[in-house]
């Protein structure tokens, strides 16, 4: 007998092409208009030429309940566009390129896109970009 799911989750492509990636963690509150499919679609549109992969984390109520959460989702965002010869993007701080441990414009943009959903907080794993929505 197979395991029954109450909500169908989209298939997740776990394969990433070689390269550097930023990790963005998204906390989704109950009642949010966030959907995984729509988030990936919006990120791919906003970050054209970059690989974007999502991976929903386990819905552990012991972790989610204290802050009214519904879901935690991670996103890998490619640091540079897929075109091999292109330079890395400028940083959100206005510098010429990514600095060790710093955020780039693509990470900032991804957090802005994710915060466009109601009840969502998005962080990059390096902790430089954080945006939340109401």
Per residue in 103-129, pLDDT tens? 478 888 999 999 999 999 888 876 554
Residue 78's DSSP bridge partners are: 21
pTM (predicted TM-score):
0.68
First to last CA, the chain: 42
What is residue 82's predicted lDDT score, i.e. its pLDDT? 65
Per residue in 5-49, pLDDT tens? 445 544 545 577 888 888 899 999 999 999 999 999 999 999 988
What is residue 58's predicted lDDT score, i.e. its pLDDT? 66
Structure tokens at 1: 């007998």
Task: Provide the 3-class DSSP secondary structure of residue 8.
Answer: coil
């Amino acid at each position: 007998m197979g395991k029954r799911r109450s909500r169908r989750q989209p298939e997740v492509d776990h394969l990433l092409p070689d390269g550097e990636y930023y990790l963005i963690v998204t906390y989704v509150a109950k009642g949010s208009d966030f959907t995984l499919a729509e988030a990936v679609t919006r990120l791919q549109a906003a970050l054209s030429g970059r690989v974007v992969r999502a991976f929903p984390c386990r819905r552990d109520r012991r972790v989610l309940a204290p802050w009214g959460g519904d879901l935690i989702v991670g996103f890998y965002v490619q640091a540079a566009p897929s075109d091999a010869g292109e330079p890395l993007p400028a940083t959100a701080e206005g510098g010429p390129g990514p600095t060790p441990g710093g955020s780039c414009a693509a990470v900032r943009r991804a957090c802005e896109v994710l915060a466009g959903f109601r009840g969502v907080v998005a962080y990059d794993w390096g902790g430089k970009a954080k945006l939340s929505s109401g």
